[in-house]
Amino acid sequence: MFTGLSAFPLTPTGEAGIDERGFRKLVERLAAAGVDSIGALGSTGGYAYLTREERSRAARIAVDAAGDVPVMVGIGALRTSDVLALAEDAQNAGASAVLLAPVSYQQLTDDEVFGLYEDVTAGLSVPLCVYDNPGTTHFRFSDELHGRIASLPNVGAVKIPGIPEDQAPARVAAFRNALPAGVALGVSGDQFAAGGLNAGADVWFSVIGGLLPEECLAITRAARHDAARAVELSQRMTPLWKLFGRYGSLRVTSAAAEHLGLIGSPNLPRPLRGLPAEARQEVADVLEALEVRA
């Protein structure tokens, strides 16, 4: 499950709810491209904005549309009792794994975050991936806390934020040291993925992989045998990484999916808004220059 390219699709959502047809199409496309797993309802999949019913429905669509490709489903919520209900729904939908970030309103303590994972992992029958995303949760894990949580039953992987290439070997080694054997290490932060994979991470949890699976599979496969080639393929996408930095990966991916004709507009639930016209043009220009096709 936790190896290679894990692609995180958008869940196109307007004020009337999820565009289920659009979502199904995005997932089918990933399965057809041969990604190693699909991460439904991640941050890019807008999990934090959707109701329990919408999330249950999206999980079922994802599992169905993914065919033989295993699906991990995001179960994060502010309240533990909601997370437990979402974990049950995800498992009932056929998820092969669940993804959990310590979503915060009040700043959480280390003991509260440990308690959250303790409460949730106890009842799981599929592996859980610990989702470390300080950009959205504003919680910072220490390596020590990662190690404690990863030692709980049913923890299968840890998804860490992007690490600049020059720091990746040391950080990946430090994480390996902190995590029990058998717990997979996954990198995110698309622009840094080649460096992370080259440094020995097991899996790339990818935003852009949810839209451009072939380009990302090429990077992932190259990292297995030709580190320099993986870096080169990633560097080719620098104009896209720059747009991610400027506008955020979610809004850029949303505009890109629209430009490629895969989903309609609007596809982000308010208060989120699509990019303004000028920024959309930049996204279109970059996709054209990269010769990306749907």
Catalytic (active-site) positions: 131, 159
| Between 180 and 276, CB nearer to a second copy | 276
Site for a second copy in 209-228 (CB under 8 A): none
Least spacing, CB of residue 136 vs a second copy, in Å: 5
Q: What's the CA gap between 58 and 108, in Å, rounded?
A: 29
User: Of residues 33, 218, 260, 272, which one binds a second copy by CB under 8 A?
Assistant: 272
For 229, the token pair is: 């080639």
User: Of residues 72, 216, 250, 283, which one binds a second copy by CB under 8 A?
Assistant: 250
Rule CB under 8 A: say whether 107 interacts with a second copy: yes
User: Of residues 81, 166, 182, 261, which one binds a second copy by CB under 8 A?
Assistant: 81
Q: What's the CA gap between 266 and 273, in Å, rounded?
A: 8
Rule CB under 8 A: say whether 88 interacts with a second copy: no
Amino acid code (one letter) for 145: L
Least spacing, CB of residue 54 vs a second copy, in Å: 10
Q: 40-79 mask for a second copy (x: CB under 8 A)?
A: ---x----xxx---------------------------xx
Under rule CB under 8 A, how many of the chain's residues touch a second copy? 33
Question: What DSSP string describes the chain?
Answer: --SEEEE-----EETTEE-HHHHHHHHHHHHHHT-SEEEETSTTTTGGGS-HHHHHHHHHHHHHHHTTS-EEEE---SSHHHHHHHHHHHHHHT-SEEEE----SSPPPHHHHHHHHHHHHTT-SS-EEEE--HHHH-----HHHHHHHHTSTTEEEEEE----GGGHHHHHHHHHHHSPTT-EEEE--GGGHHHHHHTT-SEEEESGGGT-HHHHHHHHHHHHH-HHHHHHHHHHTHHHHHHHHHH-HHHHHHHHHHHTTSS-S--S-TT--PPPHHHHHHHHHHHHHTT---
Least spacing, CB of residue 115 vs a second copy, in Å: 6
Rule CB under 8 A: say whether 135 interacts with a second copy: yes
Rule CB under 8 A: say whether 115 interacts with a second copy: yes
User: Of residues 140, 224, 236, 270, which one binds a second copy by CB under 8 A?
Assistant: 270
Rule CB under 8 A: say whether 127 interacts with a second copy: no
User: Of residues 161, 239, 248, 266, which one binds a second copy by CB under 8 A?
Assistant: 248
Rule CB under 8 A: say whether 80 interacts with a second copy: yes
Amino acid code (one letter) for 130: V
| Between 44 and 96, CB nearer to a second copy | 44
User: Of residues 20, 64, 88, 112, which one binds a second copy by CB under 8 A?
Assistant: 112
Tell whether residue 44 is among the known ligand binding residues: yes
| CA proximity to 244, closest of 253, 233, 236 | 253
Rule CB under 8 A: say whether 138 interacts with a second copy: yes
Chain residues binding a second copy by CB under 8 A are 15, 43, 48-50, 78-81, 102-103, 105-109, 111-113, 115-116, 119, 135-136, 138, 248, 250, 269-273, 276
